[in-house]
Chain A
Amino acid sequence: MKFRRLTGPAIVVLTWWAITGFGWVDSDSLPSPSAVIDAGIDLARSGDLGRAMLASLRRVLVGLFFGVVAGMLIAVVAGWSRIGESLFDSTMQVIKAVPSIALAPLLIVWLGIDETPKVVLIALSTSMPIYMNVYGAIRNLDSQLVDTGRTLSLRQHEIVRHIVVPSTVPSFLVGLRVSMANAWIALIFAEQINASTGLGKLMSDARAWLRIDIMMLVLVIYAILGLLSYSFVRFLERRLLAWRRGFAGV
């Protein structure tokens, strides 16, 4: 039953295989899975695929890192102290109202065309889900647990570390799922606007040359990366939420 979760994606791939294999659609508009794999092998041999994936992965990881850390820090400050709340919460709500992707052209004007605007864009769009979820979790924290911490003569930073932050982990992980999805979306935007390498660059080149097999390949890679990030969060949930007895479904 370990691979039960892969049932859905497997059905999609099988359907794709069937549709193209039986010749129900024109192979120019929808190449078969094997054609896409062939394209992948070609690109991998030339080294283009590896370079693109490495560049994209690096952007996502760096952006995600800064986004998650910033979102978490601001959420803890805004959630823990009233001054922090006045300072940050409405600011964050305003930033949330602006789609970060709409900032892409401005970021390029302000920060240039190298890695910085791409990483900043990814960080912006990944910090928000973390902030919203973690801030909400702190506001929902049972105040008696904080009182209990006080009666155990914990110092402020100990209350934050042992009570406030651990209580946010379930919501943090929900936010992280959304953040990871956002990271890939932001990456595509960032790379299609201006990039010398990366998956988005591969995609826009493929579009220019009408290489549908490569476009499909990039989509498949995005899907696999999405699935991997999802299982990474599931792994974190198992490790970090062992204490929680949630409803597991019937």
Chain B
Amino acid sequence: MTGLELSSIGRAFGSNAVLEDVTLSVSEGEFVAILGHSGCGKSTLLRILADLDTGHSGTFDAPKEKAVVFQSASLFPWKRVLENVMLGLRTDDPEADAKRVLSEVGLESNLRQWPETLSGGEAQRVALARALVRNPKLLLLDEPFGALDALNRLKMQDLLTQMRSIYRPTTLMVTHDVEEAIALADRVLVLSGGRFTYDRWVDLAAPRSRVAPQFQSLRAEVLEALGVYLGGE
């Protein structure tokens, strides 16, 4: 299994059903962005796929080699950058692999730094390196750039595109940033009321210009699917 197959995933907390019937088929190497209002269950879905939540109904089929990047970098403050990336890595030469990925994300000179001395963007790059060094077949991103400022977010989005071209994992990204979803993903979905209510391929040529009219009209369409109507027209 290298793609991702979800069939009728449901999850309730007490009497509150967050996910009701989530069904989705993603093929290998595809990049899917999931949008939704806060509390719509998108992070819960990601936790289920990451095997961090086991109280769900329905089934899913996913590759075993998974990696997760959360909104907060979740680095271990008592381990240096290099050790954070190496932790739990079971390859022949973990140190060399970790160093290679860290230099791919532009942190080759920060190996010995403590996480608390990193900027938000740098910390998130370490988190991305820690995920990719495992060569995951499935990359799960939970609002990975949500805590960054606008400039850093753009840089990180570029970096993610670049890193995906090296590692090519099937990618599922939860985000609340419509532009980010359209700029990066092959396919945009909206999660609402516990199921997907919108599913659209992004058929824009790369590199995607955010000011192109096609981009803007798709953005308006996705926002509409989220229940946000832009003025004009």
Decide: B88 and A144 in contact? CB cutoff 8 A. no
B130 part of interface (Cβ distance < 8 Å): yes
Decide: A152 and B78 in contact? CB cutoff 8 A. no
B218 part of interface (Cβ distance < 8 Å): no
| Chain B positions within 8 Å of A145 at CB level | 74, 76
Decide: B116 and A244 in contact? CB cutoff 8 A. yes
Chain A, residue nearest B51 (CB): A150
| Interchain nearest-CB distance for B140 vs A (Å) | 8
Decide: B87 and A152 in contact? CB cutoff 8 A. yes
| Chain A positions within 8 Å of B72 at CB level | 144
Decide: B87 and A162 in contact? CB cutoff 8 A. yes
9-residue interface stretch from A63-71, A127-135, A163-171, A194-202: A163-171
Decide: A144 and B114 in contact? CB cutoff 8 A. no
Given contact pairs A162-B76, A244-B77, A151 touches B67 in the complex (Cβ within 8 A): yes
Decide: B78 and A158 in contact? CB cutoff 8 A. no
Given contact pairs A154-B88, A162-B79, A162-B87, A148 touches B68 in the complex (Cβ within 8 A): yes
Decide: A166 and B74 in contact? CB cutoff 8 A. no
A242 part of interface (Cβ distance < 8 Å): yes
Count of chain B residues near A, Cβ 8 A: 23
Given contact pairs A163-B76, A243-B78, A244-B77, A153 touches B116 in the complex (Cβ within 8 A): no
Interface size class of A (residues with CB under 8 A): 20 to 34
- A28–B213 Cα gap in the complex (Å)? 97
- A149–B78 Cα gap in the complex (Å)? 14
Decide: A144 and B117 in contact? CB cutoff 8 A. no
| Chain B positions within 8 Å of A243 at CB level | 77-80, 114-116
Decide: B52 and A151 in contact? CB cutoff 8 A. yes
| 8 Å CB interface, B14-63 against A | 47, 50-52
Chain B 115-139 per-residue mask, 1 if CB under 8 angstroms from chain A, else 0: 1110000000000001000100000
Given contact pairs A154-B87, A162-B79, A244-B116, A148 touches B74 in the complex (Cβ within 8 A): yes
| Interchain nearest-CB distance for A159 vs B (Å) | 9
| Chain A positions within 8 Å of B79 at CB level | 162, 166, 243
Chain A 208-238 per-residue mask, 1 if CB under 8 angstroms from chain B, else 0: 0000000000000000000000000000000
Decide: A151 and B66 in contact? CB cutoff 8 A. yes
B70 part of interface (Cβ distance < 8 Å): yes
Q: Is the interface of A mostly helix, strand, loop or mixed?
A: helix
| Chain B positions within 8 Å of A153 at CB level | 88, 134
| Chain B positions within 8 Å of A149 at CB level | 87-88
| Chain A positions within 8 Å of B114 at CB level | 242-243, 245
- A145–B115 Cα gap in the complex (Å)? 13
- A167–B77 Cα gap in the complex (Å)? 9
Given contact pairs A158-B88, A242-B114, A151 touches B76 in the complex (Cβ within 8 A): no
| Chain A positions within 8 Å of B67 at CB level | 151-152
A205 part of interface (Cβ distance < 8 Å): no
Chain B, residue nearest A159 (CB): B88
| Chain B positions within 8 Å of A152 at CB level | 67, 87-88, 130, 134
| Interchain nearest-CB distance for B76 vs A (Å) | 6
Chain A, residue nearest B130 (CB): A152
- A153–B50 Cα gap in the complex (Å)? 11
A114 part of interface (Cβ distance < 8 Å): no
Chain A, residue nearest B117 (CB): A245
- A245–B77 Cα gap in the complex (Å)? 10
- A147–B127 Cα gap in the complex (Å)? 14
Q: Which residues of A contact B (CB under 8 A)?
A: 142, 144-145, 147-154, 158, 162-163, 166-167, 169, 242-245
Q: Which residues of B contact A (CB under 8 A)?
A: 47, 50-52, 66-68, 70, 72, 74, 76-80, 87-88, 114-117, 130, 134
- A sample of 28 cross-chain residue pairs with beta-carbon separation below 8 angstroms, ordered by A number, consists of A142-B74, A144-B72, A145-B74, A147-B52, A147-B70, A147-B74, A148-B68, A148-B70, A150-B50, A150-B52, A151-B51, A151-B66, A151-B67, A152-B67, A152-B87, A152-B88, A152-B130, A152-B134, A153-B88, A153-B134, A154-B87, A162-B87, A166-B78, A243-B79, A243-B116, A244-B77, A245-B114, A245-B116
